Chain A
Amino acid sequence: VQPPEKPLQAEEWKKLREDFQSPEIFEEVMLNSMIRCNSPTDVAKSLLTHLAKRNGDIAYNVLVKYLTLCVQQGQVSEICDVYDIMKVRFKILESGAYNLLIKGLSNSNQWRMALTLLEEVKKIMVPSRTCYESCIKAASRHQEMKLAFELYDEMLAKDVVPTLDVLQSFFDFSRGMKDAELQKELFGILLYLRENQIYPHKTFMRSIKLWFESIPGGNWRGHLTNIKHSGQCPVCNHQLEDSNLTEEEYSNLSERIIRDVIHGTDTFRKTTPQEFEAFQTFVENRLPFDIVIDGLNVSHIKTRKMQCENLFDAVNCLAKENARLLVLGRKHMLMNSSNWKREIMKEMQNKADFFFAENISEDDAFLLYATLRSGKHCKFVTRDFLRDHKACLPDSLTRHLFRKWQRGHQISKKNVFPVFSQQPPFCYDCVVQTTGDTWHIPYKDVFEEKYSYQVPRKWLCIQQK
């Protein structure tokens, strides 16, 4: 339905309603389309008046719809009026109305009322992230940075994940302020980005850069750059953190992989205890390997070729320079078939160690184990993104460790004919990092990154002169 352009008389509304196909939801549909068309509030008011006259009451959901319209247009006095009415009429409100009220009020000079509302919400539920977002933005817009950071800390304590917008607003509104305490808090946000492996988008990055450069007496300078493959920053010649895990992280990760990915709730789901034990002794006797290959995955690279030929190419290509190879496969590969020729398999077994798992076991778990056991220098070859294994890990911290390790150790090749070319893994770590007088911040060109395994290539280099 098209909402009318001018306020209507009760009679006219009545007629419109009767003409509508399902009169019970007429008001709702009408208000929805008003919200969509951003109609003047006067029109909505006239509808409410008609409603009030007819029923002597206005339903809660209709009030909320009207409130949406007011918030959309920033009509502060109307918002306050609606709030007064709601407060009298209902003992508590639900989250939708609170969200709207807080959003509406925080954008006005009544923003302190939004804070009291937030307190009210806290009594009955955990406020949503948008509630916090509005309040924090309002506080920082009015230069109450301390208050804003209190709210921010409270939000983190309640496990409400802040939006990038909130984080960005801190940088935007702290521009040009000289305050050691504030500076510490903002560095804290950068470290939050680091810990959670969040990459700011372009505009956010710009806010960070501008803030750094605006610190009075700070002498910070920011440059946009691409990091060389060696991991050296071309602007300040600083070497980025390497992608290797620390000893502690490394042992932590391999323990978790064995416990959560291989064994999980039930060892029998991915393998059997006997098989895993056999595999363990097999690996221990031949350690360390340089490259571990997922045989079945590699054998599917080119669909036109025989599967064992694909694998043969890969092994030949990687076997140079005396690298110790381990190929993981399944027992069915040993059966002479159209895709797996016995002679070629024999020849390959001279060049690399092979382990054949049962046909119903998962070889990926073995791949991870063998690579981790061999040590930090060991790499693995598969095109699999290993998302399902990452998902087996229970907490986000370990998952981040896994991704980091995977970035540094996985060789996944492009499907280029006919040479088996390898694409080297990253040797530097792609996170926000600092040395005290420099900051390096990776950023995304677009707002949403599509894949979790992709990392940005562009960096912001900030250094203090």
Chain B
Amino acid sequence: MQSANMLLRKIVRSSVLPFAAQHGMKKDLFPRSRTLSLSLCLKQDKSCEPSEKLDLDEWKKVMKSGLQEDVSEMVPEPKELSSLAAARETLEMWRLAGRVVPENISEEELKTFMECPSKSAKKKYLKYLRIKELHKKNDKRKTGEKRERRLEAQDQASKMGETKKNSFICMWSSTMDKAYNWRAAQSMIFGQPLVFDMSYEKEMSVREVTNTVRQIVLSESCNRRSVDPFHIHFCNFKDDSLYHREFIKQYREAWGKLLITVTDQCYTEIFPKDKLIYLTADSPKVMKTFDHNKIYIVGSMVDKSIKTGVSLAQAKRLGLETAALPLEKYLLWSTGAKNLTLDQMMRILLTLKDTADWKKALEFVPKRKYCGFVNKPVKELKKTLDLINTLKLGKGREEVQKQIAKSYPKKYKLK
């Protein structure tokens, strides 16, 4: 038994481990090799000593014995680790400690990780990577399952024999694309312009810019698929800016073929000023109807840190008219900021353009942000709310008022 064990160790040490070490996967292999050798040890122990005496420090022996020799041979690596390798090592330890850390991390991500200014920033970044990783894994699994199901279905279909003859021409997605592009091309000549203001790069972090571009890509595709698309303008767009690089990452070759207008000019240089309306949640003016002769501007900005008044400042500087969506007028707002994502904005504007129906358009506001649609004027509703609350909960009037003032701050302050 003893000799067999030795033999096994030798094999493990001579063949597997150097290979493993070369590829930097020492830790993955260690436990396995040890389990092998140990299980042999343990069997031997039991056969010799059947007594049930409990040795509390036995785990220490196990931890020390299986290792010391192996490690002492493995350790003579260069002692001074490069900072990258050290960071990788730290991450590995965090993972072992059960923190939220990605299993695999690329060189580039590792560098970003090291550049994070604080401990909490590092933590957040790692969590983000981990969640991304999990999503990817899930997606992969799902597509795999789908493929299997499809193959199965095909198998069954081929077993059934004959394929059905269809009198309709199959509409392939490329055909659809052609139709969409035709519409988009038309919109570039006759369509109503919609401006995305790309001048907020320096207000955002890298991740916010990535999110922004993602949202714009979503809105562009939604616009292309609509019955009557807008003519999209990207204004103040600087070549080789972060926006530009992100767009190329998202669209790849398609970036050059998009049916939109991209320009480094400001919208005020392209369009007459009196036709422009800047859409911003901070605007004191509330949009009543959608005007087909105006040109609406949407600020391409994701502000996770809630920088109030940035786009309003931009509009003030250029002396433009501003407007906000009438969210409070139509929705009983509950939680969340009133700024919407760019694709939600696009869907709302498209629906308004087609139907002029606010209720239909505001369906695209996330459900979690409001309790329901307002069917009476807000003032009356507030009165009934007041009444219900005072009757039901026995709350004081002032308390109720405070609560409402929280969700409708401007109205109470300005009047």
Across the interface, do A270 and B309 meet the contact criterion of CB distance under 8 Å? Answer: yes
Contact (Cβ within 8 A) A269 B63: no
- The answer for the CA separation of A150 and B413 in the assembled complex, in Å, is 55
Pair A85/B314 contact, Cβ less than 8 Å:
no
Give min CB distance, A340 to chain B, whole Å.
Answer: 10
- Asked if A89 contacts B71 (CB within 8 A), the reply is yes
Contact A360-B93, Cβ < 8 Å, known A9-B54, A57-B34, A88-B64: no
Answer yes or no: B242 CB below 8 A from chain A CBs: no
Q: Do A60 and B415 touch across chains, with their CB atoms under 8 A apart?
A: no
Number of interface residues of A (CB under 8 A): 47
Check A70 for interface membership: any CB of B closer than 8 A.
no
Chain A binding site: helix, strand, loop or mixed by DSSP?
A: helix
Q: Which residue of A is nearest B55, CB measured?
A: A49
Chain A hits for B317, CB < 8 A = 266, 268, 272
Binary B-proximity of A338-378 (CB < 8 A = 1, otherwise 0): 01000000000000000000011000000000000000000
**A9-B54, A45-B56, A90-B93 known; A57 vs B414 contact (CB < 8 Å):** no
Q: Is the CB of A56 within 8 A of B35?
A: yes
A-facing residues in B58-90 (Cβ within 8 Å): 58-60, 62-64, 66-68, 71, 75, 86, 89-90
Residues of chain B lying within 8 A (CB to CB) of residue A270 = 309
A246, CB-defined interface residue at 8 Å: no
Whether B414 contacts A92 by the Cβ 8 Å rule is no
A154 within 8 A of B: no
Q: Is A7 positioned at the interface, with any CB of B under 8 Å from its CB?
A: yes
Q: Name the residue on B nearest A360 (C-beta).
A: B284
A124 contacts partner chain B, Cβ-Cβ < 8 Å: yes
With A85-B64, A272-B316 as known contacts, state yes or no: A92 contacts B58, CB within 8 Å: no
- Asked if A64 and B64 sit within 8 Å, CB to CB, the answer is no
For this complex, into which size category does the number of interface residues on chain B fall? 35 or more
- A124-B90 contact in complex given A56-B35, A266-B313, A269-B312, C-beta closer than 8 Å: yes
B312: chain A residues within 8 A (beta carbon): 268-269, 360
CB distance from B123 to the nearest CB of A (A): 11
Check B93–A94 contact: CB distance below 8 A.
yes
Task: Indicate whether B387 reaches chain A with its CB closer than 8 angstroms.
Answer: no
Please provide the chain B residues from 78 to 137 with a CB less than 8 Å away from any CB of chain A in the complex: 86, 89-90, 93-94, 96-99
Q: Which residues of A contact B313 (CB under 8 A)?
A: 266-269
Say if the beta carbon of B52 comes within 8 Å of chain A.
Answer: yes
Which chain B residues border A7 with CB–CB below 8 Å? 54, 56
**Contact status B414-A49, CB under 8 Å:** no
B185 contacts A by Cβ under 8 Å: no
**Given that A92-B90, A339-B415 are contacting pairs, would A269 and B309 also be in contact in the complex, using a CB cutoff of 8 Å?**
yes
Q: Please, which residues of chain A bring their CB within 8 A of the CB of B398?
A: 303
Complex interface residues of chain A between 41 and 78 (CB less than 8 A to chain B):
42, 45-46, 48-49, 51-53, 55-61, 64
A186 within 8 A of B: no
Report if B268 contacts A (CB, 8 A).
no
The verdict on A332 contacting chain B, using a C-beta distance below 8 Å, is yes
B20 touches A (CB below 8 Å) = no
- Name A61's closest neighbour in chain B (CB-CB): B98
- Which B residues are in CB contact (< 8 Å) with A28? 98
A268 touches B314 (CB 8 A): yes
The listed residue (A48, A49, A56, A81) touching B38 by CB distance below 8 A is A56
- Residue B57 lies at the interface, judged by CB distance under 8 Å to chain A: yes
Query: What A residues does B35 contact at CB under 8 A?
Result: 55-57
- Cβ contact within 8 Å between A296 and B68: no
A270 to B59 CA separation, bound complex (whole angstroms): 66
**Residue B39 at the chain A interface, CB threshold 8 Å:** yes
Indicate if the CB atoms of B59 and A58 lie closer than 8 Å: yes
A29 in contact (CB, < 8 A): no
A96 within 8 A of B: yes
- Distance of A52 Cα from B38 Cα, bound (Å): 10
Q: Which residues of B contact A296 (CB under 8 A)?
A: 413
A179 to chain B minimum Cβ distance, whole angstroms, is 36
B357 to chain A, nearest CB (A): 30
Nearest CB to that of A271 among chain B residues? B316
Contact in complex: B94, A85 (CB < 8 Å): no
Most buried by A among B34, B97, B312: B97
Instruction: Tell yes or no: A158 within 8 A of B by CB.
Output: no
Distance in angstroms between the alpha carbons of A90 and B27 in the assembled complex: 9
Please, which residues of chain A bring their CB within 8 A of the CB of B63? 52, 57-58, 85, 88-89
A302: min CB distance to chain B, Å? 12
Cβ of B316 and Cβ of A268 under 8 Å apart?
yes
Cβ-defined contact, A42 with B56, below 8 A: yes
Q: Tell me if B31 counts as interface (CB < 8 A to partner A).
A: yes
A118 to B414, CA, bound (A): 58
> Are A46 and B54 within 8 A (Cβ)?
yes
Against B, the Cβ 8 Å flags (1 = close, 0 = not) of A307-351 are 000000000000000000000000010000101000000000000
Q: Which residues of B sit under 8 angstroms from A360, Cβ to Cβ?
A: 284, 312, 316
With A55-B35, A96-B97, A269-B309 known, 13 other A-B pairs at CB within 8 A are: A42-B56, A49-B54, A49-B55, A49-B59, A52-B62, A56-B66, A58-B59, A64-B97, A88-B67, A91-B89, A94-B96, A124-B86, A267-B313
Q: List 14 A-B contacts (CB under 8 A).
A: A45-B56, A45-B57, A55-B35, A56-B37, A61-B97, A64-B97, A81-B60, A85-B63, A88-B67, A94-B90, A268-B312, A268-B314, A268-B317, A337-B415
Which 7 pairs, one residue from A and one from B, show the smallest C-beta to C-beta distance? A268-B313, A56-B38, A60-B96, A94-B93, A52-B59, A52-B62, A45-B56
